[in-house]
Amino acid sequence: MRSYNLFCLKSVTGLCCAVPESCAVPAFVDGGRWTYNGKLEDAQAAPIDFDGRAAETGVRFNGFYLFQTVDPRFA
């Protein structure tokens, strides 16, 4: 699994953006509306709703992967 930087939208509980370390952080992920929530380097530490295959597809087309999670670590 590739390494991702995780960001969470402050105004929507559980909305996350995973950005590969090798990619630039998208402009919409600004410090005012999103918060950095750490690095994801291993599938076992991933939020329970993180889908690795969907992430790879999202990154291929957009450079990032947006997903919603109910994992309390990312609420």
* pTM of the shown model: 0.91
Mean pLDDT of 38-67: 92
pLDDT at 4: 96
pLDDT in tens, 2-12: 899 999 999 99
DSSP single-letter state for residue 68: E
- Number of domains, the chain: 1
Domain span at residue 47 reads 4-74
* φ, ψ at 14 (rounded to 5°): 85, 0
- For a pLDDT cut of 90, what percent of the chain falls above it? 77
